[in-house]
Amino acid sequence: MELLLSMQDINKSFGTNRVLQNVRFELRKGEVHALIGENGAGKSTLMKILMGIYSADSGKVRIFDKEKIFLSPSQALHAGVAMIHQELNPIMEMSVAENIFMGKEIKRGSFVDKRNQEEKAAACLRMLGVEIPPGTLMKDLNVSEMQMVEIAKALSYGARIMIMDEPTSAITDSEVEKLFSNIRKLKEQGVGIIYISHKMDELFEISDRITVLRDGQYVMTSDTKDITSRQLIQAMVGREINEIYPEHKSTIGETILSVKNAGRTGEFKNISFELHKGEKLGVAGLMGAGRTELVMALFGAVRLTEGGIEVNGKPVNIRSPKDAVSHKLALVTEDRKLYGLNLIGTVGDNIVSVVEKKFAKGGFYNRRKCSSLAEDMVKRLSIKVTGIKQIVGSLSGGNQQKAVLAKWLLNEPDIIIFDEPTRGIDVGAKTEIYKMIEELACEGKGIIIISSEMPELIGLSHRMIVLHEGEMTGELKEKEMTQENIMTLASGYRKEEVSWKG
């Protein structure tokens, strides 16, 4: 089969830090080749070399059977190599057609030929089976539609190689199916796709081959059909992970949190549940079910319009995150970069941000005490840093998530809410987060977990509630927590309405 890309013996160092060592990767015409590895394995650096963002110290890159060195992403794009980034960055006030042809506008004389440009944009979108009016402003599209526009933009350049970096991290299950349908269409057109994802189920559904990197080195390449998820995990982390999800060892105690008929106009209504000490309660539901909206209300980021909350048997009025913190609640947020961390701040300053006022004397910040606390948390959670003065935005996703958790643990919470705790985190780091969650439960803390990954919810939870369009459709005990049962409730059926399994 025709090779579109060959990267051989690629080496790259930043100062004394060697990030790639004799790495190789190939892409065939009309295949999806997954590139995987833990954060810091070298995936991004390898792709940046391909796109002309970095230059390799040594090694050869052949594209369409010619040795190539791109000096910029624009040069790569014009040569037929495109990257669909995880974090899309369209010009929101411009139209779909204007975004697709940005930098290569179709002109008649000195003016943009708007009609011709929109016709060609529509043709690119039709190739993907997408019916978005090309005059629509980007700000009026959802994330999935923006993603399709980015792919159409790549097609307008005649791209034969596409890099997709975590393309499903912010889209719904139905949108994932549309994306996969379009990936299959691209394959039929002979486009080769490099697919980067931490989601195992996706890799086995959409990829033809998988290449694993570890610590900047090539580990293996396999046809997807010839390898198991356990073997992939072992290849990525360099050891066998016998138990991805830790055994439940915590003792479930008395009720620590009661939510009674909670509602917020237009978002969710009539939700009631209890959380016990030492319990891990899962919250399941499809995108838009109201899961995040519910926990944001519990944490005081928005206010309930009906119902109430009790903590340790006493009614509480949580009107702000400050109130929630005073009642010993913590929220490890879904978007750690937007809400969880100050990315340009140091690791130490981020960790002590919730408690630093406790150690201020006469209005002055007790830097020595706060530094000592931050260093203790770094050791406790095994956060990989050069020191507490390292900028937190430079850490891997897993270590950033540990920094968010460290910040809250310093306040000694009794109830911890984890909203998508392992989004964008590699398998090895996920396992560490899972162990930490179990350890916190063993300390008697009540844990609430929201996750879009059903195996994760099933593996972590003692019990689960399921939401659909802002309403609670049922509660599942541990033996009832199957993917089929969860999807039944998440689709809008109520537990009492169906023939139940478990």
Strands 415-419 vs 3-14: parallel, antiparallel or unpaired:
unpaired
Task: Please state, in angstroms and rounded to a whole number, the distance separating the CA atoms of residues 160 and 141.
Answer: 26
Quote the pLDDT of residue 336.
Answer: 65
Whose structure tokens read 């609430």? 448
pLDDT of 369-379, one tens digit each? 888 888 998 98
List the pLDDT tens digit at each of the 502 positions of the chain. 799 999 999 999 988 778 999 999 999 999 999 999 876 788 989 999 999 999 999 999 999 999 999 999 989 988 999 998 766 678 889 999 999 998 888 888 888 888 998 999 998 888 888 889 999 999 998 878 888 888 888 888 889 999 998 888 767 777 888 889 989 999 999 999 999 987 888 899 999 999 999 889 999 999 999 998 878 878 887 765 556 788 999 999 999 999 999 999 999 999 999 999 999 999 998 777 899 899 999 999 999 999 999 999 999 999 999 999 999 999 988 766 666 788 888 998 888 887 777 766 656 667 788 888 889 989 888 888 888 999 988 887 778 888 888 888 888 899 999 988 887 777 777 888 899 899 999 999 999 999 988 888 999 999 999 999 899 999 999 999 988 888 889 888 887 766 655 5
Quote the pLDDT of residue 402.
Answer: 86
Quote the pLDDT of residue 269.
Answer: 95
DSSP reduced 3-state for 466: strand
Quote the pLDDT of residue 338.
Answer: 65
Q: What is the pTM of this model?
A: 0.61
Task: Please state, in angstroms and rounded to a whole number, the distance separating the CA atoms of residues 447 and 444.
Answer: 9
pLDDT of 159-179, one tens digit each? 999 999 888 876 777 788 888
Task: Please state, in angstroms and rounded to a whole number, the distance separating the CA atoms of residues 58 and 366.
Answer: 49
One-character DSSP codes across 217-282:
EEEEEEEGGG--HHHHHHHHHSS--S-SSPP--PPP-SEEEEEEEEEETTTEEEEEEEEETT-EEE
Helix orientation angle between 367-380 and 397-409, rounded to the nearest 10 degrees: 120
Quote the pLDDT of residue 215.
Answer: 83
HEC-encoded secondary structure of 168-180: CCCCCHHHHHHHH
Quote the pLDDT of residue 501.
Answer: 54
Quote the pLDDT of residue 377.
Answer: 87
